[in-house]
Amino acid sequence: MIGARWVKDQFWLIPASLCLAAVVLAQTLVLVGRSVDMPALWLGELGPSSAGDLMGVLAGSLLTATATTFSITIAVIVLTSSAFGARLVRNFMDDRGSQVVLGMFLGSFLYAVIVLRSITADSVPALAVNVALILTLVDVGLLVYYIHHITDSVQLATLSRRLGAEFEQVIQAVYPEDTSHDEP
């Protein structure tokens, strides 16, 4: 049986789940787009070549942004952990915000690749292309959030606050308050 602590300790679980959801969403929207004739909502009518170019640019940009963002993050964490200790690495690995951002970036990349693969000479899945644009806008917002989040999380005040909270949890686990009897 998978315990809650094991699930919490798995950095890859949330990103992998979001990637799987993106693959399912892409396949579903491509199938829906083939069975229902929908006009493109934002872009007007895109030809197969333009839609393919757009999906290729989105996929490449998302993968580049993911690699650059997380490479810089790892460099910041390595440099900062030399001053503040290895706990910073654990804080990064346990951070749900980092996991969600990584999962969304990689999921959006996979989504764009699957939609790109589904574009044929005579059919463009307009709904799936529009959702790819929405996902890209969400990813831009997540990038802004992530930059703020990481810069905040490596500050000494934030590290001290987290350490204090962890310390209190350990004290409560080791010495739980027993209120079952009153002392005279």
Burial-class residue 89 by CB neighbours within 10 Å (0-12, 13-18, 19+).
middle
With contact defined as beta carbons under 8 Å apart, do 139 and 69 qualify?
no
CA gap 24, 30 in Å, rounded: 10
Q: Locate tokens 């094991």: which residue?
A: 6
Q: Where do the domains of the chain lie?
A: 12-36+47-170
With contact defined as beta carbons under 8 Å apart, do 112 and 105 qualify?
no
CA gap 130, 137 in Å, rounded: 11
pLDDT tens digits in sequence order for the chain, 184 residues long: 466 666 666 888 999 999 999 999 999 999 998 887 766 666 667 788 988 999 999 999 999 999 999 999 999 888 888 877 777 777 788 889 999 999 999 999 999 999 999 999 888 888 899 999 999 999 999 999 999 999 888 887 877 787 788 778 888 888 887 555 555 5
Burial-class residue 165 by CB neighbours within 10 Å (0-12, 13-18, 19+).
exposed
With contact defined as beta carbons under 8 Å apart, do 20 and 108 qualify?
no
Task: Please count the CA atoms within 13 angstroms of the CA of 168 that sit on its side-chain side.
Answer: 6
